[in-house]
Amino acid sequence: AQTVTQSQPEMSVQEAETVTLSCTYDTSENNYYLFWYKQPPSRQMILVIRQEAYKQQNATENRFSVNFQKAAKSFSLKISDSQLGDTAMYFCAFMKDDMRFGAGTRLTVKP
């Protein structure tokens, strides 16, 4: 079974700065999908960004971008110009036949 590891339980960043959240995964599959989800205090799960494994180009959504290293099985999330509203739990997820999540990183953006 695929496993997803987020090695940073908590992180903090100053407003307007850049922060990178780490994610590694283990799989023998060649075609799959990777996601980052955000969970604010409201508990709602919100999709941040997704990446298809067959695409070499890193996905970007406004201030959010990923560094996808397929050979290293690494999928980090970079948040640029951090905003107070980015404070949340962030989950990395791997999807093949079903979706598996990492344990999450709690990000705090400080004013």
Partner 1 sequence: NAGVTQTPKFQVLKTGQSMTLQCAQDMNHEYMSWYRQDPGMGLRLIHYSVGAGITDQGEVPNGYNVSRSTTEDFPLRLLSAAPSQTSVYFCASSYISPGGANVLTFGAGSRLTVL
Asked if 11 and 110 touch (Cβ cutoff 8 Å), the reply is: no
- Cβ–Cβ contacts within 10 Å for residue 54, how many? 10
Distance separating alpha carbons of residues 54 and 63, to the nearest angstrom: 23
Asked if 19 and 11 touch (Cβ cutoff 8 Å), the reply is: yes
Residue 36 in the binding site for partner 1 (CB under 8 A): no
Distance of closest approach, residue 53 Cβ to partner 1, in angstroms = 10
Residue 91 in the binding site for partner 1 (CB under 8 A): yes
Residue 62 in the binding site for partner 1 (CB under 8 A): no
Residue 16 in the binding site for partner 1 (CB under 8 A): no
Helices (H) and strands (E) in the chain, counts: 0, 12
Q: Which of 8, 20, 50, 58 binds partner 1 (CB under 8 A)?
A: 50
Site residues, partner 1 (CB under 8 A): 1, 4, 6, 9, 33, 35, 43-45, 47, 50, 52, 91, 95, 98-104
